[in-house]
Chain A
Amino acid sequence: MNQAVDEFRELPVGSKGRRSSGWWGMVALVASEAAVFGYLLFSYYYLMAHSLHVWPLGGPPTLRLSAPGTLVLLAGSFVMYWGERGIKQGANGRLIAGLAISIVLAALFILLELWEWHDKGATPSTDVYSSSYFIITGFHLAHLAVGMVMLAVALVWACLGYFGPRRHSAVTIAGLYWHFVTVVWLAVFFTFFIVPRLSP
């Protein structure tokens, strides 16, 4: 017999922990989604570099709502991580709490974001800066909404008792997407709210 299989080892059946095909699939999907945001931010910087006016007109956007929103979203990611750690130790209640609190925090972020949109005094058709502002933050909101659906479904499954310390790949997979959406927001936040403050 060939060397590749000659040692006697216990092989797990089905998805177990991180070694699930779904986890690899989500890694690939996140890579592709990261590219979407990479191209979005490229478009933003390209338009900025070619702009003939002050960018953005009227100075950098305010941090009044976006900074608390960023903290809320980061907190949501940490709570999710706390819940994931819980199910690894068999604490299903901690997972349920983690998922539920993350969803609530994401909803709070969306409210703050929509409030900011409302206060903006501009629409996507005002000028090319506001086009990119609304479309890029809107793309992020859409991703966050998809992540909330994933977490909500995982919450239902957790309540049905589907997960345990050995079987929780759905949570790990949804969590990966969730953390990605948070990290992408940091890039968007940096681009729109910090970069204009750095320019002389």
Chain B
Amino acid sequence: MKTDMILVRFGELTVKGRNRGQFEKRMVEQVKRMLRPFPNASIERTYGRLYISLNGEAYEEIAAKLKDVFGIVSFSPVRRTESELEAIQAAAVDVMRALPKEPETFKVSARRVLKAFPHNSQEMNHLVGSSVLRAFPALKVDVRTPEVELRVEIQPEGTYIFSEVVPGAGGFPFGTNGKAMLMLSGGIDSPVAGYLAMRKGLEIEAVHFHSYPFTSEQAKEKVIELARRLAYYSGKAIKLHLVSFTEIQTAFTQSNQDHLIITLMRRSMLRIAERLAERSGALGIVSGDSLGQVASQTLSSMNVIGRTVGLPLLRPLIMTDKNDIIRMAERIGTYKTSILPYEDCCTLFVPKSPSTNPNLKVVEKVESFVPRLSDMIEEAVAGTETIHVSEQTPAGLLSAGREDWF
């Protein structure tokens, strides 16, 4: 069977009641954007579903992209035929014949949405099943655990026949659950946290702290590259706020509280992120924290750090093991960039023994002795450089030299 259509199913958003129209609209937009490189493909929207007519475009290429669209729970390559018994029977045999390998057992699951169709679902299971059995004499019916479940959906506009159900990314369409600021460090965890946040329908803006000249230009480019990868999933440009943290960091190193310096830095970063969130109407802060991974991610540290801000702190990875995070990073294509060896501002000035159990009162007291801390925070916010990173934004590498040199 040459796939001529893809049936796309939406996920959790179908529970969204009155907002449903809004969600579906977003889904259609996302799928349309995804289909832009395939000009012949067209979309048809029905209740809770999309049908993509391929019109000659390659199924595999479109399928690969569909897997990255948030809000799609699954999709199937389908064969569409007229809602007439003989046509359905012939198409069912075609679909079975196109399987990569002939199964030993199968069953037919018919669904009749078009109530005017003369045979009911039970009868259809039988009628379609027997014509398939005639074509494949070795095949057996197994209604409990069939190797292949041949689905037949009789809809008013036509009948859809398929057997494969490909899992999608799931979640909600991008931006349907509000906006949050992502603390994007350049490490392995934060891009994964950003991905998971986006999959839950959050629009994100990313904040990155650098301490030039203590951190290098390459570190910045690495973060741009990570944001670019995230922008692939959002389907639109991501705002990346680049905040100079040099002055604040230097002030902390002079406070002679080495073991608290990470705690102090984190608190100031959160304050800055919160101020940026206010500016852009974001209602949460997403971070890549994972419980116990480093000193600043003990429960005790997170308590002291988190009390700095009023916005909800979202930590999608909090209970995830490092190996699982790495696997996710590889899958979403951020791992190779994340492990590039450039210092970010948290790996600099790391004390030999950072506190895993800081005391809130002590930390607040140390902060009160840092001259001009709140001014410096305001200045950092004011001096933030914001760039729009889209999937097409040439990464640092690709902006090297002139196009015609290569």
Do chains A and B stick together as partners? Answer: no
Please list the residues of chain B having a beta carbon within 8 angstroms of any beta carbon in chain A. none
